[in-house]
Chain A
């Protein structure tokens, strides 16, 4: 079974918002790792990540100065704001409570600055993607 799951989040038609997708392309196939790209985090993902030992959600971050990996814990919901999408913490919370997920979860923050319509990355996002790949390669599997 593939024990590490990488989920790239973002819209590749909104410039740097799609940087996580670029990270997966740079990383390429890795044995024992399932990688996928999503526009947003949705509830049914909780079922799919549940068997994994390690889950990493890779996302563009407009505030980040450098690529980083942050260990996250399950979150319990944002008041009444549960809409069509989930935060990473909520996704992990759903996976733990409904599907017995017991693995480690991380968010890989990738600096992003330009969210305008387009399919090109800014220099900042492009450089950060390389650093993010290095971080992901060092992940325990």
Chain B
């Protein structure tokens, strides 16, 4: 009779989750599932509230990527108003989105994934964390913290607070950016470039030590979805949806994000609170797609900034078609961080950024509004229906981590099959399963709209479901 291995809680991710590994009678891994075990129901929580409160309320979903929720929510509000957002407000929103992606990616790379990458997958788990990293390369850790601080500081200077700023509202933003604040941001830029250059060198050198992990931690064909600029370039704030397949062929292009529900479906399974979105034309689960840094680097023709273009060209050479290796989410994150710093530097020279016309004056003109943008972990959609008084009747949030749910499950199963040996279970084997999940940097607080940290449990079960062993991680 088969067995199931359960990894719970998964560490260094955000939220609560569990992994089940099913083991056959012959002692081999048969399959694996990634379960999300928390639920809050933020969509219901907001019903009856005025739509202009939504950006501030929705930002509370997450302490890591609140800016993404504020922006998608503000854009849904823009649509309800039917007003044109002033250019200064758009530039501010773009600036803060770059800062948000930068700080979130810095957290993921330097704090959560570097312990695996620098100390090794099989290193002492008691030291395989940021504090262990301090003993090995304190300067690397110090720079990572400063890079994240740079992103946080931009958010704070522009939005008033580094976590849950509520400066962006339907129709624009609430505060003009001052020259003094802009000039402080400029001072950080040389250090940010220097830190990122070092991170890129380190990761490329370390990848040689992880050849088996690169090949077998979540390398599989899938679709890739993300926002692209009208020119097909990397775009995080406003553009069209592009989808490519594993060979790099464009499957769909120029899709209007406002019509997301016509091409994306949302399935659910009883074993997880997280939805399982799919590309409708291919059905469920065949329409599995990935979002986030790996997807964006696969769908973009170019980055549009010199450093990121150079890195993106090199990135694309890692596969003949699309780069299908989940492990390369790490590298894609660094490419995007380079792009963010370059775009921030460009915006510092842009006089429109300091404009004082920052908010359109308009009342409710539509009863349905949809906003989307690229969050650090992928494409984010907020969809609101309101009554004639502007009170929310229904909200639907399509979150990046949920869109990666099918892929995370696939990556977990593939990794377990390759690395987990149930008869002589070792911590490093289970850490590789966790590492597969961490490639996607999932934020389960967002994707279930729940509160919480993300510990993970691994269970070993017979194929019948009988529990054999549980491994708990704080």
Contacts and interface: CB of A to CB of B under 8 A. Distances in A.
Interface of A: 13, 38-40, 42-44, 46-47, 76-85, 90, 93-94, 97-99, 117
Contact of B60 (A13, A43, A78): A13
B130 interface: yes
A80 B130 contact: no
A79 B125 contact: yes
Interface string B149-164: 1001000000000011
B12 interface: yes
Interface of B: 11-14, 45, 60, 63-64, 107, 111-112, 115, 125-132, 134, 138, 141-142, 145-146, 148-149, 152, 163-164, 431, 453-455, 473-474
Given A82-B111, A97-B134, A98-B145, 5 more contacts: A40-B63, A80-B115, A81-B473, A83-B112, A84-B111
Contact of B152 (A13, A44, A94, A98): A44
Given A81-B455, A84-B14, A85-B453, A43 B130 contact: yes
Nearest to B153: A44
Nearest to B63: A39
Contacts of A43: 107, 111, 130, 145, 148
Contacts of B453: 83-85
A85 B13 CA distance: 11
Contacts of A84: 14, 63-64, 107, 111-112, 453
A73 to B, nearest CB: 14
A127 to B, nearest CB: 26
Given A39-B163, A40-B63, A83-B13, A98 B142 contact: yes
Given A43-B130, A98-B138, A81 B163 contact: no
Nearest to B45: A117
A19 B148 CA distance: 28
Q: Which 10 A-B pairs have the closest CB atoms?
A: A77-B131, A44-B149, A82-B129, A81-B474, A80-B11, A80-B125, A43-B145, A98-B142, A77-B129, A82-B130
Contacts of A77: 127, 129-132
29 contacts: A13-B60, A39-B163, A43-B130, A43-B145, A43-B148, A44-B145, A44-B152, A77-B127, A77-B130, A78-B474, A79-B125, A79-B126, A79-B129, A80-B12, A80-B128, A83-B11, A83-B13, A83-B14, A83-B453, A83-B454, A84-B63, A84-B107, A94-B131, A94-B145, A97-B131, A98-B134, A98-B138, A98-B142, A98-B145
A141 to B, nearest CB: 26
A134 to B, nearest CB: 29
Given A39-B163, A39-B164, A40-B63, A81 B129 contact: yes
Nearest to A82: B129
A43 B148 CA distance: 9
Nearest to B141: A98
* Residue among A13, A39, A83, A93 facing the most chain B CB atoms (10 A cut-off): A83
Which of B115, B145, B455, B473 neighbours the largest number of chain A CB atoms within 10 Å of its CB? B145
A44 B130 CA distance: 13
Question: Interface centre among A38, A42, A98, by most B CB within 10 Å?
Answer: A42
